[in-house]
Every structure is written in C-alpha cells, then in structure tokens.
C-alpha cells in the first residue's frame, strides 16, 4: 500500500546544507519508506518540515515496513497508534503515489485529476537514538478503505485530505476520536483521482 511516492515541488521548504548554505531540494523526487518527506504537524502548523517516513519504537534502529502505515480502523486499539491519536497529527504533502496490482502485474500512478498535490493525514513522533542522542522526526501515513476506482487496483488507499480540511485534522482543540470521525466521514471521492498505468 503506497510504498512509493512522488514528492513534487518543495520550493517552500528551506533546508540548511553544509556550512549553513541553503539547499534547495530537487523537484519531483521519488520517495519510499525511510525517505524524508515534507510534513506539517499540529505542533507547528505554520511550518513545513522534513520528517522521515516510518515510525520507530524505542529499541529499534531502522525503519520497519509495519510502521509506515496506520490503518484508520486500528487507531484507537493498536498501542503505537493509540498513543499518538489525538496528540500528534500531521499532514504529508506528495504529488502522486504508486500502487502495484499483483493480479494484473501492473503498477499504477495515482494523482489528483486537477494536478494539485495530495495532502495525506498521518501521525508523527520523535525518535531518540540512544547511542548518539540524535532526535529523528518520523511519521506514518493513515490508510483507509478504497473508494470505487481505487478498489479496482488495491484494497487500501491513503487518507486523503482536501486542502481546506488540513486545519481540521491538525486542530488540537478536537479529540482524536473527533478527528478520526472527520476522516471517515469525508473520504476521497473517485472523481478526485487520476489513475494511469505506470510505463
């Protein structure tokens, strides 16, 4: 489920390179679990930051695939997700994502039909490397049952937000239950998506 994404333009992200010189990320860079992607969190909703895709538990030192996606149905029952839901919500911005259909042996590219970026609801946390005392910001994308068109190629899809709904997902005045209910009652419609076979 969504194991590779197209990041797209990141012109509003400022990263310091070596010796403090500004670094401009390349447009349309591909990303997968373990990659750094543009994220906005409820802790700093006015700032686009760089977080690593894949949550880590305290005793781990690498990204595990089982922590890159959080099923919306399990946010209140699975320990890791339950600890973050209602406390640490984020939005991940990507241009497109890719799904491989094993039956058809085809890879599909999914974009918005209007060409705008996707905004994916997620959960975030900060992992501490106890060997180096380095703090690593990480996230997991939330997934939900697919809409009609996505169901023809995969049994899950990311929890896609409209741009105007980002503030609701990041609103710390809402409980985790209220925010999850908002996602479930506002699924991404099939007509929002453009699905093509990847060459």
Model pLDDT, residue 3: 73
Low-confidence ranges of the chain (pLDDT < 50): 11-19, 23-28
Task: Name the residue ranges covered by the structural domains of the chain.
Answer: 4-197
Supply the pLDDT for residue 197. Answer: 94
DSSP string across the chain: ---EEE----TT--EE-GGG-EE-PPTT-EE-TTSEEEEEESSSTT--EEEEES---TT--S--GGGSEEEGGGTTTSHHHHHHTTT-EEEEEESEEEEEETTTTEEEEEEETTSPPEEEEEEEEEEEETTTTEEEEEEEEEEE---TTGGGT-S-EE-EEPGGGHHHHH-TTS-HHHHHHHHHHSPPPGGGEEEEE--
pTM above 0.85, yes or no: yes
Just give the CATH number of 4-197.
Answer: 3.90.1680.10
- The pLDDT, as a whole number, for residue 27 is 47
Say what the pLDDT of residue 135 is: 84
pLDDT at 123: 97
pLDDT, tens digit, 9 for 90 and up, residues 6-61: 887 654 444 444 445 554 444 446 678 888 899 999 999 999 999 999 998 776 66
Q: Which residues contact 159 (CB under 8 A, 6 or more apart)?
A: 72, 120, 121, 141, 142, 143, 144, 183, 188
Q: Could you tell me which of 174, 193, 185, 180 has the C-alpha nearest to residue 70? A: 180
């Amino acid at each position: 489920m969504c194991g590779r994404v197209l990041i797209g333009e990141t012109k509003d992200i400022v990263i310091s390179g070596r010796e403090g010189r500004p670094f401009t990320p390349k447009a349309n860079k591909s990303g997968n679990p373990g990659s750094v992607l543009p994220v906005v969190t409820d802790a700093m909703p006015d700032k686009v930051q760089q977080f690593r895709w894949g949550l880590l538990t305290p005793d781990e030192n690498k990204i595990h695939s089982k922590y890159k996606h959080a099923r919306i149905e399990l946010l209140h029952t699975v320990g890791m997700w339950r600890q973050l839901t209602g406390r640490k919500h984020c939005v991940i911005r990507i241009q497109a994502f890719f799904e491989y259909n094993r039956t058809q042996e085809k890879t599909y590219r999914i974009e918005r039909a209007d060409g705008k970026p996707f905004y994916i609801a997620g959960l975030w946390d900060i992992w501490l490397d106890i060997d180096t005392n380095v703090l690593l910001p990480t996230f997991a994308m939330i997934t939900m049952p697919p809409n009609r068109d996505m169901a023809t190629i995969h049994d899950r899809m990311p929890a896609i937000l409209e741009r105007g709904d980002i503030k609701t997902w990041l609103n710390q005045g809402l409980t985790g239950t209220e925010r999850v209910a908002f996602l479930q009652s506002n699924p991404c419609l099939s007509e929002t998506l453009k699905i093509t076979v990847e060459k």
